[in-house]
A and B are shown apart, each in its own frame.
Chain A
């Protein structure tokens, strides 16, 4: 298990937990990020810029600041492939 901000790029990951304050969590839920969803880090901005996170479950993409990505705990998806 690791934080989304430290996750390898281009690998399917499963969201284990979404931590952080209520505001951030509510926002993530509203944009369709929930526990057990499959996500993938697709790209990132330069100089430790934001991450481009694709939600494979919902088929949506979200740009996420590192602080936010730090609050999301993920694990490599077991059913990878």
Chain B
């Protein structure tokens, strides 16, 4: 779907500040975070630069063009299908040697490109002084120093981009060592004309020699016996000469070239001081101290949300109650009154009960993400994840799940093995997302006390562990070991955190709120027509006899499938009480059972949709079945205990 506007692709290794740079140009439209692989899908944006419209695209971070995780495959197919007019390679200047390995691959690819030498301030702080002009000469590509988080260098970068779009900035390939260069050139010449050329013949030849034979190009070669023979003999000649596998030699060649370019273009001052982040890291990653700190962070997280949310909620509930009283006096008791009340409950419930907890949660999540704590939590929790058959890399999707299960399922793309993806995706719907946290805080913490809510979380985590353990019996394939980059800590910027919160909030208002309002109005209508009783009677064997809940709650549980908060708002409406007087209609034990059931039963509609899309129909329905079974079992246990 090539656009009429020139397309500019942002590509870089994870945590190179790619999305931050993209945001600086496109405005608050893409999410960024300090965890490898969290920009899980690409973001398009059309921007107007000095009167010219560019279609700019932010792709997920990739360490290399030899993909080893699903997220990286997206990039390759995008690069080949859409043939961008310009590639902006964002490079983390503070780890230039490593970052240049991808740059070298992109130069081989040969699309017009510019290097954005990002976080140049961080490099200076580490005692690494890079000469951009020299780097430019060595790479043969324009190099623009930038500090994306402060918007430095963005103007120069855009000017260079416009220049390159007009003048095609050609990229000349860098040469390999003699023998490898010979093999590459030889193979490139012999590519049959009908084979799909990726990028250019030279790049295709390189990838045929080094890429995983099971991945696209290799499969192509399988279909051409003559070509396969050429490739195999080229590989064999290299391997015989260098006594190592071809892919390792190619990687080592690139590594040495990258290091050489780094050394020639940079001046590293020795005896650099221990920076603040190294000192902080020594403490939060400490083999013993790290764990109490992790616990404290979680507790602080929970109490901050509860305290801030509770206060906001108390302030907002008063006016909401008065508004409803005013309205009922005004509209009487007819259909109009029912609909009006439904509307106010849906709108007001969103403002007064949901948002007070939702906003602090989003903000704190953004803080942890930006700081780079998620990867660290992955390191600390790896041991425990092994107990449930996964490893530390699944921690980030899980933590993201506390915000919303949908991006969490998407972010499982960073997991290399399909087995880990399947198990993680099946467990994510059990993570209490912000909607469920709202219910837990508004019902359990508010009516039974904050420690009950903490207990709830503890029970929840335990349940996930048990389910994970059980699931890992069914998925037998071995899981690859943990290899997870720990990015350097970054002081979170208020601007990014506010931006991210705003973005999430916007999508809540756009998608979830209309559902809340519509749900409330539908319930009002059903109540007015008396149809709610028929539905409730149908559910009463489960709701009344099984769970011991008041019959009117049956219908609200069903609506929880659309959106979990909807169950909370509709619960008040169905019971016909004010939030403050909830205990007059339902006991504390029933509140607990209700929360347990709503939390675990069925992934919400959006989560179901994303599970289907990402992991297939089988896993999506398995997830539904699993969660219904777990919800019923867990609620019965809770009912029996209390």
Residues of A participating in the B interface, judged by any CB pair closer than 8 Å: 18, 22-32, 34-35, 42-50, 52, 55, 57-68
Whether B483 lies near A62 (C-beta < 8 A) is yes
Whether B481 lies near A58 (C-beta < 8 A) is no
Task: Tell whether A50 pairs with B287 under 8 Å between CB atoms, given A57-B97, A60-B98, A68-B481.
Answer: no
User: What distance in Å separates the Cβ of A37 from its nearest Cβ neighbour in chain B?
Assistant: 8
Does any Cβ of A come within 8 Å of B251's Cβ? yes
Whole-angstrom CA separation of A8 from B248 in the bound complex: 27
Whole-angstrom CA separation of A22 from B287 in the bound complex: 30
User: What distance in Å separates the Cβ of A35 from its nearest Cβ neighbour in chain B?
Assistant: 7
Within 8 A of A (CB), among B214-252: 245, 247-248, 251-252
User: What distance in Å separates the Cβ of B452 from its nearest Cβ neighbour in chain A?
Assistant: 29
Whole-angstrom CA separation of A62 from B13 in the bound complex: 14
Task: Tell whether A65 pairs with B481 under 8 Å between CB atoms, given A26-B66, A43-B285, A59-B97.
Answer: yes
Task: Tell whether A62 pairs with B287 under 8 Å between CB atoms, given A34-B251, A45-B383.
Answer: no
Considering the complex, give the chain A residue whose CB is closest to the CB of B382. A50
Report which of B288, B379, B480 forms a contact with A50, defined as CB distance below 8 A.
B379
Q: By DSSP majority rule, is chain A's interface helix, strand, loop, or mixed?
A: mixed
User: What distance in Å separates the Cβ of B372 from its nearest Cβ neighbour in chain A?
Assistant: 11
Whether B482 lies near A26 (C-beta < 8 A) is no
User: What distance in Å separates the Cβ of B362 from its nearest Cβ neighbour in chain A?
Assistant: 27
Please indicate the chain A residues that have their CB under 8 angstroms from the CB of B212 in the complex: 22, 26
Considering the complex, give the chain A residue whose CB is closest to the CB of B101. A32
Does any Cβ of A come within 8 Å of B301's Cβ? no
User: What distance in Å separates the Cβ of B190 from its nearest Cβ neighbour in chain A?
Assistant: 25
Q: List 10 A-B contacts (CB under 8 A).
A: A29-B252, A30-B63, A30-B251, A32-B255, A47-B383, A59-B95, A59-B126, A60-B95, A60-B98, A63-B486
Whole-angstrom CA separation of A66 from B488 in the bound complex: 22
Whole-angstrom CA separation of A43 from B293 in the bound complex: 15
Please indicate the chain B residues that have their CB under 8 angstroms from the CB of A62 in the complex: 483-486
Whole-angstrom CA separation of A29 from B391 in the bound complex: 20
Task: Tell whether A35 pairs with B382 under 8 Å between CB atoms, given A61-B485, A63-B392, A63-B486.
Answer: no
Task: Tell whether A65 pairs with B483 under 8 Å between CB atoms, given A26-B212, A46-B383.
Answer: yes
User: What distance in Å separates the Cβ of B512 from its nearest Cβ neighbour in chain A?
Assistant: 35
Does any Cβ of A come within 8 Å of B446's Cβ? no
Whole-angstrom CA separation of A68 from B484 in the bound complex: 11
Whether A27 lies near B483 (C-beta < 8 A) is yes
Task: Tell whether A27 pairs with B68 under 8 Å between CB atoms, given A34-B251, A61-B486.
Answer: yes
Please indicate the chain A residues that have their CB under 8 angstroms from the CB of B482 in the complex: 50, 63-65, 68
Whole-angstrom CA separation of A35 from B251 in the bound complex: 10
Report which of B68, B480, B488 forms a contact with A30, defined as CB distance below 8 A.
B68
User: What distance in Å separates the Cβ of A20 from its nearest Cβ neighbour in chain B?
Assistant: 9
Considering the complex, give the chain B residue whose CB is closest to the CB of A70. B481
Whole-angstrom CA separation of A58 from B92 in the bound complex: 11
Which of B98, B252, B391 gathers most chain A CB within 10 Å?
Answer: B98
Please indicate the chain A residues that have their CB under 8 angstroms from the CB of B416 in the complex: 23, 27
Whole-angstrom CA separation of A29 from B102 in the bound complex: 11
Number of residue pairs spanning A and B whose beta carbons lie under 8 angstroms apart: 126
Considering the complex, give the chain A residue whose CB is closest to the CB of B97. A58
Which of B291, B481, B488 gathers most chain A CB within 10 Å?
Answer: B481
User: What distance in Å separates the Cβ of A26 from its nearest Cβ neighbour in chain B?
Assistant: 6
User: What distance in Å separates the Cβ of B93 from its nearest Cβ neighbour in chain A?
Assistant: 11
Does any Cβ of A come within 8 Å of B624's Cβ? no
Contact count band on B:
35 or more
Task: Tell whether A34 pairs with B481 under 8 Å between CB atoms, given A26-B68, A65-B382.
Answer: no
Please indicate the chain B residues that have their CB under 8 angstroms from the CB of A61 in the complex: 485-486, 488
Whether B485 lies near A64 (C-beta < 8 A) is no
| A-B interface, 3 closest residue pairs, ranked by CB to CB distance from nearest | A65-B481, A65-B482, A32-B98
Please indicate the chain B residues that have their CB under 8 angstroms from the CB of A43 in the complex: 282, 285-287, 290
User: What distance in Å separates the Cβ of B130 from its nearest Cβ neighbour in chain A?
Assistant: 13
Does any Cβ of A come within 8 Å of B320's Cβ? no
Does any Cβ of A come within 8 Å of B375's Cβ? yes
Please indicate the chain B residues that have their CB under 8 angstroms from the CB of A24 in the complex: 480-481, 483
Whole-angstrom CA separation of A45 from B378 in the bound complex: 10
Does any Cβ of A come within 8 Å of B94's Cβ? yes
Please indicate the chain A residues that have their CB under 8 angstroms from the CB of B252 in the complex: 29, 34-35
Whether B382 lies near A49 (C-beta < 8 A) is yes
Whether B97 lies near A45 (C-beta < 8 A) is no
Please indicate the chain A residues that have their CB under 8 angstroms from the CB of B245 in the complex: 22
Whole-angstrom CA separation of A44 from B287 in the bound complex: 5
Whether A50 lies near B392 (C-beta < 8 A) is yes
User: What distance in Å separates the Cβ of B259 from its nearest Cβ neighbour in chain A?
Assistant: 7
Whole-angstrom CA separation of A57 from B95 in the bound complex: 9
Whether B68 lies near A45 (C-beta < 8 A) is no
Does any Cβ of A come within 8 Å of B380's Cβ? yes
Does any Cβ of A come within 8 Å of B615's Cβ? no
Does any Cβ of A come within 8 Å of B460's Cβ? no
User: What distance in Å separates the Cβ of A1 from its nearest Cβ neighbour in chain B?
Assistant: 18
Whether A46 lies near B379 (C-beta < 8 A) is no
Whole-angstrom CA separation of A30 from B169 in the bound complex: 27
Please indicate the chain B residues that have their CB under 8 angstroms from the CB of A18 in the complex: 248
Task: Tell whether A63 pairs with B481 under 8 Å between CB atoms, given A26-B247, A42-B285, A43-B287.
Answer: no
Please indicate the chain B residues that have their CB under 8 angstroms from the CB of A23 in the complex: 68, 416, 480
User: What distance in Å separates the Cβ of A78 from its nearest Cβ neighbour in chain B?
Assistant: 18
Considering the complex, give the chain A residue whose CB is closest to the CB of B417. A23
Which of B97, B381, B483 gathers most chain A CB within 10 Å?
Answer: B483
Does any Cβ of A come within 8 Å of B64's Cβ? yes
User: What distance in Å separates the Cβ of B245 from its nearest Cβ neighbour in chain A?
Assistant: 8
1/0 per position for B454-483, CB-CB distance to A under 8 A? 000000000000000000000000001111
Please indicate the chain B residues that have their CB under 8 angstroms from the CB of A45 in the complex: 287, 379-383
1/0 per position for B376-393, CB-CB distance to A under 8 A? 001111110000000110
Please indicate the chain A residues that have their CB under 8 angstroms from the CB of B483 in the complex: 24, 27-28, 31, 62-65, 68
User: What distance in Å separates the Cβ of A21 from its nearest Cβ neighbour in chain B?
Assistant: 8
Report which of B259, B282, B391, B485 forms a contact with A60, defined as CB distance below 8 A.
B485
